[in-house]
Structures are given as C-alpha cells and as structure tokens.
Amino acid sequence: SGAQGLTIYAESTNHGQILFADGTTGNQAYRGIVRYDHVTDSIRVMTEGASERLRIDSDGVKFNGDTAAANALNDYEEGTYTHTITGSTSGSWTPRSGYTSLGYTKIGRLVVVSGQLETQGTKTASGNIQVSLPFAIASGQSMSTGAAFPLRNNGTSLEGTNYVNLSQGQSHFIMTNLNHAGTLTVLNDSHLDSAWEGKLLVVYQTDA
C-alpha cells in the first residue's frame, strides 16, 4: 500500500507546490495542493482534482476559484470604540459612566455597530444629534436608514418610531423620529435633554 505524506517541489520557473498524498487506498493519490504562483503573486489551496478552494493575493482572500477583486475579503476586525455624541452646531452630550463605548465588527467593507447609548450630566449640545462611528460611511452610499430603535428621554418614550440615518462619506449618524401623524423629524437638542437612552444596531458599508 502507499504512504501518506507530502512532497515539496518547484513545478516550473513560476510555480512551487506542496502536495499532500493519501496512500490509504494504495494508489498514492494526491488529495491536496498548496501552490505559489509567481506570475499572479498568489498562494492557492486546492483539493483533489485541482479544484481551487482558497486564494490569497494582493486583493486579499478569495474563495472557490473566484478571482474578482471586489469579492476579496481584505479585512476583519472586531472590538469596541469610544463614541461621542455631539451637536451638529456645537457642544455635546456626556455618555453615562459604563456606557462610553460601542461594539463593532468589520468584515471587509461591511460594518456592524451595536450597543446602548446613555447620557447624563450637563447638556452643552446645540443642533442635530450626531453619534460617531468607527469608520466613515461609503462615499457612494446615499442616505439610508439603519435600524429602528427604542429611545427614552428621562424615562419618557418618544412618540412614534426612531431611526438611525446614515449619510455618505460621514463618520457619524443622525437620529430621526417618525411620529404617528407621519411627520419625519431630525432629532436635535430641543427634543432631548441631558439624560436619555436608546439601544442601537447599525449596519453599513465603508469605502475600504
């Protein structure tokens, strides 16, 4: 019977390979290949029959033979960031102790932000409410709606439904309210006092 093992060799001037052999059937068949391609400067992982499953090149990571740069996974990270809540004209709201950070996950260009907003202390903000994001919104993405979320102002729920709105190229979002009469209002310092809270979920794309 054949033996299990691997072979490393230069296939040609432009290629190098690691071959994984499966000798359990007695035919010393190669079941897996890792190949470096000098021409495309890529590393490819293939299964039996040279079916490509993974490619790593200058674009990032690609799957199942896909070569499109737009489909490459070029970034992954997760963590928390210290957010700010400011007025579009001036000033800010102070995040409550223990609620000074929001969580995020970034997969390629897709960003998910979640957490709870709570404020306390003295309000100095003037203008529309702006909450910072960990990455700028894609410049080609027109204004769109994030998730609806519950919002309470000093223990009193605001009438209607509150939304997160995203605007292209910005590093923050604003909040709007759609009341039961169908009126859409951008929330500003006149709508919320120094202590308010809201749960948050925002999904958006970045440029890179």
Place of tokens 């021409």: 39
Confidence grade of residue 15 (pLDDT, cut at 50, 70, 90): confident
Contact 101, 189 (CB under 8 A): no
Q: CA 175: distance to chain centroid? A: 20
Q: Report pLDDT for 195.
A: 94
Instruction: For residue range 76-91, list pLDDT tens digits in order.
Output: 999 999 999 999 999 9
Q: Report pLDDT for 145.
A: 52
How far is residue 3's CA from residue 12's CA, in Å, rounded to a whole number? 25
Instruction: For residue range 117-173, list pLDDT tens digits in order.
Output: 999 998 999 999 999 999 999 987 655 556 778 888 887 778 888 989 888 899 999
Stretch 93-100: mean pLDDT: 96
Q: Which residues contact 182 (CB under 8 A, 6 or more apart)?
A: none
Q: Report pLDDT for 35.
A: 87
Confidence grade of residue 23 (pLDDT, cut at 50, 70, 90): low
1 pLDDT more than 50: no
Instruction: For residue range 101-120, list pLDDT tens digits in order.
Output: 999 999 998 899 999 999 99
State the SS3 of the chain.
CCCCEEEEEECCCCEEEEEEEECCCCCCEEEEEEEEECCCCEEEEEECCCEEEEEEECCEEEECCCCCHHHCECCEEEEEEECCEEECCECEEEECCCCCEEEEEEECCEEEEEEEEEEECCCCCECEEEEECCCCCCCCCCCEEEEEECEEECCEECCCEEEEEECCCCCEEEEEEECCCCCEEECECCCCCCCEEEEEEEEEECCC
Stretch 16-30: mean pLDDT: 68
Place of tokens 């209607």: 160
